[in-house]
Chains A and B, each alone.
Chain A
Amino acid sequence: MLSSCFAPPQPERSVRIDAYGVIIIMNRQRVVVTGMGWVTPLGHDLDTVWSNLTNGVSGVAPIERFDARSFPTTFAAQVRNYDYNKYLNDTAVHETAGQHTQFALGAARQAWDQACLGSYDKLDHARIGMYLGAGEGALDFDNYAKVDLAAWSAEANKIEDEQWNKFALEYLDSWREIEQEPSMPAAHIAREFDVRGPVCNCLTACAASTQAIGEAYDILQRGDADVMISGGTHTMLHVLGVTGFNRLTALSNRNDDIQRASRPFDRTRDGFVMGEGSGIVILESLEHAQQRGAQPLAEIAGYGSSADAFRITDMHPEGRGPARAIQKALKQAGIDPHATDAHGRPFVHYISAHGTGTSENDSIETRAIKAAFGDNAPKIPVSSIKSMMGHLIAAAGAVEFITCTMAIRHGMIPPTINLNEPDPDLDLDYVPNKARKAQVETCLSNSFGFGGQNDTLIIRRYAE
């Protein structure tokens, strides 16, 4: 269909006010997942990564991007042997893409192909939108440091501005600078797939891509688009990224045992392990998916978002924000967290934890899950794939969302590896070390960001 400057007919949207004066939009669309793709430290395609996740494989290795041997942390989970060009129609136009954008382009192509959008000849590109939670690009540290050092005035004990300008114009690469904008992955994907509907990028630290998927879901529910490309991408594996997290003492520095360093929920956990990569999904109104005969892989059933409004450095000790995000998502999905089925099973069958492996996160997340599920909490398997692929920061929520969808489709729950010494205060079922076969109909995925943004999604097996 050719694009038109006239808006296509919108699904009718009626609004009502409930008894509390809250505006409720009626006639909301159901939203399904029809495509998924990821580029991660455990591989670059759905099956390889899934096989590694369910086999408990660690993607952690010594940092190769720069010489980190003297850093407090010398290791990370890195994307390796990846070439984004094979995923592109037009390689020349994406030549300047930064690493985060390169990851996202490959993940987006996999998702687009799985959804078979390329072969649908009635696709209206003005009704395809995008909502990413992409991080900023990697700083060009070597050249930046060169400029700073060259422009330093020892006498004045500060940078000499005129010199800085001169060296910066000389040493910095204009494209490497432009490509660092957090909206660049979205711009590149829009160019590659001719996306012309509503496009947005959010960056709420480690919660970003879960929040992006949640908001994309809302946009589809309202009928403001038919298809949304969503997810996230990020790498902070550059000198200042690792420096920043090391200064915050947020990273594990178990340099002598790197593949066993990421140990969420273990008593001896000492911080998170950095990862990098991208997860991209195609979300679609059920109506649109059915119209074109697409196969729904799962359905999004609920989304909850909240702010801690507590401190920029710490989570609220009772986990009030995370608990509220979980409760809001459950309410939207119509799930009673305290109910069980005829077999005594709660109606959530797997929780993909934020589970970073920091002392604070894992305790507070456990508390929040208990606050939301009460007596049912110990009956729900909870695991953290960050134990295997590290923490993908802004992209973490997207790969965990895909993990939930895979768990439903394969009837398998990935483990939390390196969980050998249970923490007496953490008493949920964290699926230690070995994947578990299970009938999974409904999953819950948590992401919490530095500074207090909390987001929860509920993913359910699609049924008519």
Chain B
Amino acid sequence: MSDSVVITGLGPVTAYGIGIAPLWNAMLEGRSAIGPITVFDPTGLPCRIAATMPDDVLEIRKIVPKSYRKATKVMCRDVELAVAAAAAAVDDAGVVTKAVDPDAEPTIDPDRFGCHIGAGLISADVNELAQALITSRTDSGGLDIGHWGEQGMQNLTPLWLLKYLPNMLACHVTIVHDCRGPSNTITCCEASSGLSIGESLRVIERGDADACLTGGAEYKLNPLTFLRQIFAGRLATAANGADPTTIMRPFDPDSTGTVLGEGGGILVLESGRNAADRSANVYCEVASFAASQSRCADATGLNITPDDESLATAMKQAIDRAGIAPQDIDAVIPFGSGVPNNDAAEARALRTVFGNRAIEIPLVTTIPFAGNCAAGNGAVALAVGAMCLKQQKIPARLNTTAADGLNATAGPASDMALRSVMVSTTSQGGQNAVVVLRAPAA
């Protein structure tokens, strides 16, 4: 174990709440969190469902140390999710950071504590900006740019820009937990969390950190961010009156698209040596990582071509680098977004890599439960993968009735002997990230 990198803390934040327990329990029970959108009125939009947290679940002022409460004023929702996730991961890992106890010796040397967080393109709060813009409205209803430059913009708080920079997720997290090692913000849509964990793995392997907070988070329920997904043709459409929990159907030929969720997660990734020295609880080993770029018909990475082999290449590389063969993978957590083009590409890759076994390997999908958490989605998937290995169980599957030669149709949770689990992601933009997780040596 000493030359390995392991996961010692899980901090998913999902519509079920903060931490692994509420998510994992819901997945064992087969309970979807997807429902009608209430955070804004989606009337007139072709998709009106998502998985969001109830109002009282995430109280950011109670999560951060007292001395940092003032800074919560400049945290947009994406940042709140990441900060809550990091607190949960640190707590789960039993790591003492500055946030846990400012007077205690930190468990991880701050200079050797890294942080890699996937983030989305964050939109400014619509009402906040409109409140300011409206002060520069002309009589005919347009915007008076001269007035805006001179006076209107003064209605925005001076730190307005800093609320919405994607790197602010990692910045707040590194400040709260005093992580002074390498810190990065990965912005590759749904592949962001997978690429972040890959970077943390590299950073620990190259000797630049002993541990990293790694993962991602995103809130796509800002009306403009949500609309961009509609423009990209990625969201599921459903008739009025349809049960929202049944719409999200990974790999099903009838799937019309994905359903968004708010959330993501942070994991504590640690060198095996460091984890052993402090007798940490190890969920699993991060055995390998590989990435690739899909060949696309368009230039924005939305339409992966039917002859693309890049995702299969990344899966093969990840399996090779883990020092195992495809038959050693006992379960797969695919992206399974329900976006027909992405699902088709993933199904092809799985069939290429696993051949006849593709129909046997259980595919565990998280999106029918917690929604597609975009830049944070891979972190949710990795947390679930770690739990599968720790508990030797796979959770329930929902909704899918036919799955194109794959083992993805609906069914209850079950016990299962699991050695290695592969977690893979495709993304808008064409980036693929694949991670192999391995059960800790007994």
Contacts and interface: CB of A to CB of B under 8 A. Distances in A.
Interface of A: 3-7, 10, 15, 17-18, 21-25, 66-72, 93-94, 96-97, 126, 129-130, 136, 142, 144-146, 148-152, 157-159, 161-162, 164-166, 168-169, 172, 174-175, 177-184, 186-188, 190-192, 194-205, 211, 215, 218-219, 221-222, 224, 239-240, 243-249, 305-313, 320-321, 324, 328, 449-453
A211 B189 CA distance: 19
Interface in B109-131: 110-111, 115, 119, 121, 124, 126-127, 129-131
B180 A15 contact: no
A67 B136 CA distance: 14
Given A187-B300, A309-B178, A146 B187 contact: no
B231 A178 contact: yes
B313 A199 contact: no
Given A196-B310, A247-B160, A307-B179, A218 B145 contact: no
A184 B162 CA distance: 22
A184 B293 CA distance: 13
B393 interface: no
B179 A69 contact: no
A66 B145 contact: yes
Contacts of B185: 202-204
Contacts of B186: 200-202
A188 B430 CA distance: 10
Nearest to A240: B124
Contacts of A190: 293, 296, 301, 430
Contacts of A311: 175
A191 B316 contact: no
Contacts of B131: 157-158
B129 A148 contact: yes
Interface string B141-181: 11101111110010011111110011110111011011111
B206 to A, nearest CB: 6
B431 A451 contact: no
B321 A309 contact: no
Contacts of A310: 175
Nearest to B129: A148
A181 B148 contact: no
A174 B231 contact: yes
B429 A70 contact: no
B299 interface: yes
Interface centre among A4, A17, A68, A312 (most CB of B within 10 A): A312
Contacts of A152: 130, 134, 137
30 contacts: A7-B313, A17-B2, A23-B273, A145-B143, A149-B133, A149-B142, A149-B143, A150-B141, A158-B127, A161-B43, A161-B223, A162-B41, A168-B224, A168-B227, A174-B231, A175-B231, A177-B227, A181-B189, A181-B300, A183-B188, A187-B429, A191-B298, A192-B299, A199-B291, A247-B160, A309-B175, A312-B168, A450-B171, A451-B168, A453-B183
B305 to A, nearest CB: 11
B113 to A, nearest CB: 9
Q: Is the interface of A mostly helix, strand, loop or mixed?
A: mixed
Contacts of B174: 307-309, 452
A196 B292 contact: yes
B419 interface: no
B292 A126 contact: yes
Nearest to A162: B43
Contact of A21 (B143, B157, B271, B299): B271
A201 B301 CA distance: 14
A146 B140 CA distance: 12
Given A3-B313, A180-B121, A247-B161, 13 more contacts: A7-B317, A149-B130, A158-B131, A161-B41, A182-B121, A198-B314, A200-B199, A202-B185, A239-B145, A243-B148, A246-B153, A247-B157, A306-B111
A36 to B, nearest CB: 22
Given A17-B2, A182-B166, A202-B185, A196 B313 contact: yes
Interface of B: 2-3, 5, 40-45, 71, 74, 110-111, 115, 119, 121, 124, 126-127, 129-131, 133-134, 137, 141-143, 145-150, 153, 156-162, 165-168, 170-172, 174-175, 177-189, 195, 199, 202, 204-208, 210, 223-224, 227-228, 231-232, 271, 273-274, 277, 290-296, 298-302, 309-310, 312-314, 316-317, 320-321, 352-353, 427-431
Contacts, number: 339
A70 to B, nearest CB: 3
Nearest to A137: B121
Contact of B316 (A6, A70, A180, A221): A6
A446 B171 CA distance: 19
Nearest to B126: A159
Given A136-B121, A183-B189, A23 B3 contact: yes
Given A172-B227, A218-B202, A244 B71 contact: no
B63 to A, nearest CB: 17
Interface centre among A24, A151, A248, A306 (most CB of B within 10 A): A306
A459 B181 CA distance: 22
Contacts of B127: 158-159
A131 to B, nearest CB: 10
B227 A126 contact: no
A144 B71 CA distance: 28
A10 B320 CA distance: 10
A195 B175 CA distance: 36
A453 B183 CA distance: 7
A201 B187 contact: yes
B3 A15 contact: yes
